[in-house]
Amino acid sequence: MTVQLESNFMLLGDADLPSIDLDRPHVTLAELLEEVSGRSSNTIQFLSRDRKALDEGWEVAINGRALAELPGGVETSLQDGDHVAIMLSLLGGG
């Protein structure tokens, strides 16, 4: 399965890629996030400790739909060719 990736930072450190190939036919968003985290040259924690939600500071969308709109949350199943945007939330200030 191939998932297209988009982000507002370097997901995989110096080896940032536009997609990731997974050797499993069925993958949830949580599993994808753990896979990306494991392949990253940086220490990235996308999921909360209980793995049931995103950790603070992250926004994710699947095929343009925000995670909050998806009934399965981080357990949403991905399909081959899905587009997943993983964004670091921008903090305002002034």
pLDDT tens digits, one per residue of 1-59: 999 999 888 776 666 678 899 999 999 999 999 999 888 877 789 999 999 999 999 99
What global pTM score does this model have? 0.88
Residue 87 vs residues 7, 13, 23, 24, 91: alpha-carbon distances, Å? 5, 15, 24, 24, 12
Length of the chain as a residue count: 94
Residue at 94 is within a domain: no
* Structural domain range at position 15: 2-88
| pLDDT confidence of residue 79 | 97
Residue at 50 is within a domain: yes
Residue at 93 is within a domain: no
pLDDT tens digits, one per residue of 59-72: 999 999 999 999 99
Number of structural domains (the chain) is 1
CATH code for the domain in which residue 81 is found: 3.10.20.30
Residue at 24 is within a domain: yes
